[in-house]
Structure 1
Amino acid sequence: MGERITSPCVGLCSTTLGDRVCRGCQRIDSEIRDWPGLSGAQRGARMTELDRLRAEVAGRFLVVTDPESLEAQLRRHRIRFRDEQPPLSRAVELLRVGRGRIRDLACYGLAGRDGEDAATLHARISADLLLAAERRQTRLHDSST
């Protein structure tokens, strides 16, 4: 039986616009291109690395106060997530999808460190995620040469 190919893709690939790093999933263009050819273990390692990156960046701005509420809201709004995905990484996806509709972060099991609203948090996290992903891309490129 074939192995299921899990992907961090969120359907917003900015590499088609010329970015070397995707603003949606934070993978570099070569990772996106090579993804189907990676083994399950390689994909799992990359997913873990990307989750760690998102959690690290989101943790600067956001606190998960109730992981169960966060998961319930993700399910309610049909936002995909993985069982092994850390709550802060899940929160990044929630903010990406719901930033314009979320009025009370506490209902989602979240709190902004500076009392910011969902849209502001999303913008700050996205900007820092892009910078962190670009640094990651440079490290990956440097280690392969």
Structure 2
Amino acid sequence: MAGRVVSPCVGLCSTTVGDRVCRGCQRIDDEIRDWPGFDADERQRRMDELDALRVSVAGRHLSVVDGEALQAQLERHRIRFREDQPALSRAVELLRVGRGRIRDLSRYGLEPRVALDAATLHERIASELMSAAEARRLSDADLDPSRP
């Protein structure tokens, strides 16, 4: 029996205010609505897509130099993550939650590619994630003409 695949929800659903793509988890509104009906394989496929999206975007801005330090900080601050979640995808969550409090990214096992504070780094990553997620939504709509 396959293990349960958790939802990518981070408790910050902007689709409730009219966004077609959630600012928290980067899922498309239809994907959020249909999530409970997806089988385990479909959920895992979509989780993998979302992780790949985060890794691609975050990887342009930072690298994880100490995965153990990152995990320790996530646990210390009680930030949810999955065991199979790539480190850069985990880093996106850390920045989302701690962007206003993090002063030294190296203490979190992270190294920015350009010297930026955590808040600015998060802002850039979040903006690019939204653009990439919107492109994903439009690509899905092209594949399914019944979707707006």
In the alignment, residue 55 of structure 1 is paired with which amino acid?
V
TM-score by length of 2: 0.94
The equivalent of 1:123 in structure 2 is 123
Deviation at 1:115, TM superposition (A): 1.0
| Alignment map for 1:71-82 (pairs within 5 Å) | 71-82=71-82
Aligned equivalents of 2:39 and 2:28: distance in 1? 18
Letter of the aligned partner of 2:43 in structure 1?
R
List per-residue Cα deviations over 1:11-39 (Å, max 9, x = no partner): 11111111101111000000000000000
The answer to whether the 8 Å contact 2:35/2:43 transfers is yes
Q: How many residues align?
A: 145
Instruction: Give distance in 2, aligned partners of 1:132 and 1:5.
Output: 23
For residue 116 of structure 1, give the secondary structure of its aligned residue in structure 2: coil
Q: Distance in 2 between matches of 1:52 and 1:109?
A: 20
Query: Gapped runs of 5+ residues in structure 1?
Result: none
Residue of structure 2 equivalent to 1:49 = 49
Structure 1 runs (4+) deviating above 6 angstroms are none
Q: Distance in 1 between matches of 2:120 and 2:5?
A: 33
Q: Is the 8 A contact 2:92 2:122 kept in 1?
A: yes
2:24 aligns with 24
- Contact map agreement 1:65 1:110 (CA 8 A) in 2: yes
How far apart are the structure 1 equivalents of 2:17 and 2:35? 19
The aligned residue for residue 111 of structure 1 is 111
Percent sequence identity over aligned pairs: 67
1:53-103 Cα distance to aligned partner (Å, 9 max, x none): 001000011111111110111111110101111000000000000000101
Please report the TM-score for the alignment, with normalisation by the length of structure 1.
Answer: 0.96
Residues 99-123 of structure 1 show CA distances to partners (whole Å, capped at 9, x for unaligned) of 0010100000001110111101000
Q: Show the counterpart of 1:142.
A: 142
Give the letter for the 1:67 counterpart.
Answer: G
> Secondary structure of the equivalent of 1:78?
coil
What is the rounded CA distance, in whole Å, between the counterparts of 1:82 and 1:12 in structure 2? 17
> RMSD value over aligned CA atoms?
1.4
Query: Distance in 2 between the 1:5 and 1:68 partners?
Result: 23
Letter aligned with residue 75 of structure 2 = R
